[in-house]
Amino acid sequence: MKNFFKIIIIAAFGVMLYPLFDSFSGNGQLNDLASFYAQKENVEKVNSANLVTAVVVTYRGLDTLGEVTILFLTAAIIAFFLTKQSEVRTLRRNSEIFQTAARLLIPVIIMVGVYIFINGHLSPGGGFQGGAVIASAVILMLLAFPNMPFNSKLFGLIESTSGLVFVGIAFLGVLIGTGFLDNAILPLGTFGELLSAGTIPIIYSFVGLKVGAELSNIISGLQSVQADN
């Protein structure tokens, strides 16, 4: 009986979604807002080859600031919830192969993450993706060497410094540029070069560091309260 109701609710949800599918006819061309972002003179104003990055960091940079704040709140709540336990954990020793492979792979993974967020304005990628890759290196480290002390104070310091630099660069736009998060306070450079697009690579690098540090803190918080049962 209960399952019957659940099936009815899911079917009703599917019926509700059907008109959305039915009335969708595909886009023949960009809408007005996207055309504004893709126009030649506006692309040259931001000078970022990756238009998604231009939207995320410059046009809608305030959204990104809110997003980073939400991540910070999550990390803070989890750190508040999951305080360290005093009980001793008996851990099985990891195999030699796993530990050696982890030692080899962790620097490479961190390097890939840094590459992704430094090239965020040129190729697919950016601060959030690069930060997630760096955090995956931290997961590997915590799995391979569970007894290694995790310095969450250092990660907290990296995180808050990066956040402050992000907001500081955004405010510099108000002081010497045309507005909050104006990326043209630094020279825009040549289109498609690594050092181009003004402050976008700098902001995205700090976002990457911040996200990586925050996710690492969340993971270590979840790991530190794990019991043996």
Q: Which residues contact 155 (CB under 8 A, 6 or more apart)?
A: 213, 214, 216, 217, 220
Stretch that binds another protein, among 73-81, 95-103, 138-146, 149-157 (CB under 8 A): 73-81
9 lines the binding site for another protein (CB under 8 A): yes
Give the one residue of 1, 3, 149, 153 binding another protein; rule: CB under 8 A.
Answer: 3
- For the record, the structure tokens of 11 come out as 């079917």
Give the one residue of 1, 23, 35, 197 binding another protein; rule: CB under 8 A.
Answer: 35
Identity of the amino acid at 130: G
Q: How many residues sit close enough to another protein to count as binding (CB under 8 A)?
A: 59
27 lines the binding site for another protein (CB under 8 A): yes
When the beta carbons of 13 and 98 are compared against another protein, the nearer one is 13
208 lines the binding site for another protein (CB under 8 A): no
Give the one residue of 43, 106, 139, 140 binding another protein; rule: CB under 8 A.
Answer: 43
Place of tokens 């306070």: 185
Give the one residue of 1, 23, 28, 90 binding another protein; rule: CB under 8 A.
Answer: 28
Q: Which residues contact 136 (CB under 8 A, 6 or more apart)?
A: 109
C-alpha triplet 170, 110, 122: angle, nearest 5° = 50
70 lines the binding site for another protein (CB under 8 A): yes
Query: What b/e readout covers 29-60, taking b as 16+ CB neighbours within 10 angstroms?
Result: eeeeeeeebeeeeeeeebbbbbbebbbbbbbe
- For the record, the structure tokens of 220 come out as 């270590």
* Least spacing, CB of residue 20 vs another protein, in Å: 8
Query: What b/e readout covers 138-162, taking b as 16+ CB neighbours within 10 angstroms?
Result: bebbbebeeeeebebeebbebbeeb
When the beta carbons of 95 and 160 are compared against another protein, the nearer one is 160
Site residues for another protein per CB under 8 A: 3, 6, 9-10, 13-14, 17, 20-21, 24, 26-31, 33-35, 37-40, 43-44, 49-52, 54-56, 60, 63-64, 67, 70-71, 73-74, 77-78, 81-82, 122-124, 126, 128, 191-192, 211, 215, 218, 221-222, 225, 227, 229
